A and B are shown apart, each in its own frame.
Chain A
Amino acid sequence: MHLMYFTEQPMAAWNPDSAALDEISIGKGRKQRVTALLHSNKYFDPVAGGRLYNERLDEYQLVEEVGFDGIMLNEHHTAPFCMSPRINLFATLLARLTKRVKIVLLGNPLPIWDSPVHLAEELSIIDMISGGRLVSGFVRGGGVENIQANANPLYNRERFEEAHDLVIKAWTQPGPFRWEGKHYQFRVVNPWATPLQKPHPRIWIPGVASKETVIWAAQHRYPYIGLNTNFDLSQKIKDLYIGSAREVGYEPGPENFGQLLQCHVAETEEKAERNAKQFMWMAGEFTGLAHPVWGSPTGYGSRSNRKSLIEIAGGRRPMTVAPPLTQRRLEHTFVWGTPDSVVKQLKHVLENNRVGILALWGNDGNINHEDSMTCIKLLGQEVVPAIRDYAKELGLQSPMEANAPISLDLTPKDQLSPVAV
């Protein structure tokens, strides 16, 4: 079992009332508060920002001290729910500030950057400074990420796949070579920095169940991490992944699956519950309130999913909003309480989802630094050891423990037996 800690690095000093001031029109006679993209950055406070960035670094260092296996980082843009707009910056800091934990990037949004070669270099440097502790996840980036970077959503998936292929080639094949792709062209690819881990760092793919991404991850033999997915959705992901894996010739196990859960621990149930409410800080939508056409711009999603997106964007059916706290608890996408109660709930998750990677999302909203540190301490001292033991009982191994091949390409051909479907 690989146990890692996660926070979205919320702008805890943000005043939720400011969203009411950034109401936008979303059609005739309908208005909506927004907390992303067009929500003005005049509400950002750099003094508080400086304090919060440093508090997060203290928290990450404690995560290592108390025994987690990894720190998961992500990035978002133009929104107070996530203060990290460049995942590689914190990864670089952690490469030096920590000594043991894996630095798990979930992930770099490939399509929004114009130079995958530059990205390959940065990741190589993080891998070297950390002594080979990088796990390099990749994502497509949300609609807002694509719009703010002016990356055409129509080409999001094509750019994701081409940038991935270019990064892998830059990591594994000696330069110089030339790249003439559809979306990226380089006269010379010859980054001086290459990864310490050979052939290259592990790649994990997080997501919220886009079918194409699940299939793509399975076809590459990259573990898939469900982000706050409930049991039903996690099972659907697993079924799709397993079917796609068998088609290319391998049998996936727990090491191919991961789960991110919101998980807040405190000394008492009352305090944990009080802080749990902070995870609803953006009117129940933890990725920020946005116009539906920002979240899923034209061409970003698959055509098969288009009907519902058109109806949502046109105001003909309501936007999907995150479920309320009570439902999240029932669905085990959010566990909170004292360490004993959280261990019980997490065991139930492991029995159901049988994953080899578990990410615990410990704080959100304006949960203060002290409570965040307490949560990390209690997780490390009481929850992590119990869950690690239980995972052993259940035979849930991480990709590292299982010594799983890093990718399908790096799987010996005689170990593959594709099943015709």
Chain B
Amino acid sequence: MTTTERSSTSTIDWTTRSVSVCGGSVSVLSGGHGAPLLVLPRDNGHPPNHDFLDLLAARSTVYYPWLPGFHASNPEEWEWLTNFRDLAIVTRQLLVALGVDRVNVVGLGFGGWLAAEMATMGHDLFATMTLVAPMGIQPRHDYILDQFLISTESYARAAFANDEAFEAIYGAEPDFDQLESWETDREMTSRVAWKPYMYNPTLARLLAAAPTPTLIVWGSADRVVPQECGELYRSALPNAKLQLFPGAGHALDLEQPTALAASVAAHLNAVRA
């Protein structure tokens, strides 16, 4: 186990460990105190700064994995993993390996889709779900932004309402290591979500049997996943509410960490009450 400093301002002791799952290894960042909370990242990985995690860790024990096959997870070990539902099964087995049960989950975009798939696989897996602009359900009127037609940097920029918000996290010109990390992420995304792109046609039907109390949040300026998907998720899930963040983009956790963390806390409190 190694200690990892999340950011110079972080007051949380974050540690990274490698966990064996299905013959491969998954790196997991963890820190904080309280009930376990799993955070599932977007398809373009872990950002360099993540105040949102610190805010969550103030009242939860946060587990934040690098998804199998994505950057920093030994991608070569996961070439066999070729569909999204397998990714959900592996992530579920990761929870078993971590020894956490009835975990709260916050899924960010692609990670939100992952959480939703996992929720269809057992009623008692999650105590609560917070889905932040998740992919996974096909929009009826528009399309999920196709990253394969644009550069990895353009795709990362599209997750923010504007360039200033992107550059506050990644800088004006991300370095080669960041570009390479995104390239690795994109390779795994190609493997599990190439076709159909970023949705599972059967997911909405399966979610009907997922009673997990769920908060769905969406930025009104999301340029990656159409806002209509928020309503589709809300009507597919039997126990869900939808909250809009005016003016925010897809990467809500990076643009408005404090407001989003407060929404998560309120959701957890409401379920606990």
Contact = CB atoms under 8 A, between A and B. Distances in A.
Contacts of A26: 150-151, 154
Contacts of B153: 27-28, 314-315
A311 B190 contact: no
A291 interface: yes
A291 B149 contact: yes
B183 interface: yes
B183 A306 contact: yes
Contacts of A28: 153, 157, 163
B190 A310 contact: no
Given A25-B154, A298-B183, A147 B190 contact: no
B148 A297 contact: yes
A310 B183 contact: yes
B187 A298 contact: yes
A27 B157 CA distance: 9
A38 B151 contact: no
B244 to A, nearest CB: 28
B149 A147 contact: yes
Nearest to A309: B183
A315 B151 contact: yes
Contacts of B183: 298, 306, 310, 313
Nearest to A314: B179
Contact of A316 (B157, B179, B190, B194): B179
A313 B152 contact: yes
Interface residues of B, number: 20
A174 interface: no
Contacts of B176: 307, 310-311, 316
A299 interface: yes
Interface stretch (A76-84, A123-131, A148-156, A265-273): A148-156
A153 B152 contact: no
B209 to A, nearest CB: 31
B147 to A, nearest CB: 9
A392 B186 CA distance: 52
Contacts of A293: 148-151
Q: Which bracket fits the contact residues of A?
A: 20 to 34
B190 A153 contact: yes
B195 A27 contact: no
Nearest to A293: B151
Interface in A9-56: 25-28, 37-38
B180 interface: yes
A296 to B, nearest CB: 11
B190 A298 contact: yes
Contact of B195 (A150, A297, A306, A313): A150
Given A291-B150, A293-B149, A310 B180 contact: yes
A292 interface: yes
A314 B157 contact: no
B191 interface: yes
Contacts of A27: 151, 153-154
A369 to B, nearest CB: 36
B49 to A, nearest CB: 20
A154 B149 contact: no
A152 B195 contact: yes
A310 B184 CA distance: 10
Contacts of A292: 151
A294 interface: yes
Contacts of B174: 314
Nearest to A182: B82
3 smallest CB-CB distances across A and B, nearest first, come from A298-B186, A152-B194, A154-B190
28 contacts: A26-B150, A26-B151, A26-B154, A28-B157, A147-B149, A291-B151, A293-B148, A293-B149, A293-B150, A293-B151, A294-B149, A297-B190, A298-B186, A298-B187, A298-B190, A306-B180, A306-B183, A310-B176, A310-B183, A311-B176, A311-B179, A313-B151, A313-B152, A314-B153, A314-B174, A315-B151, A316-B176, A316-B179
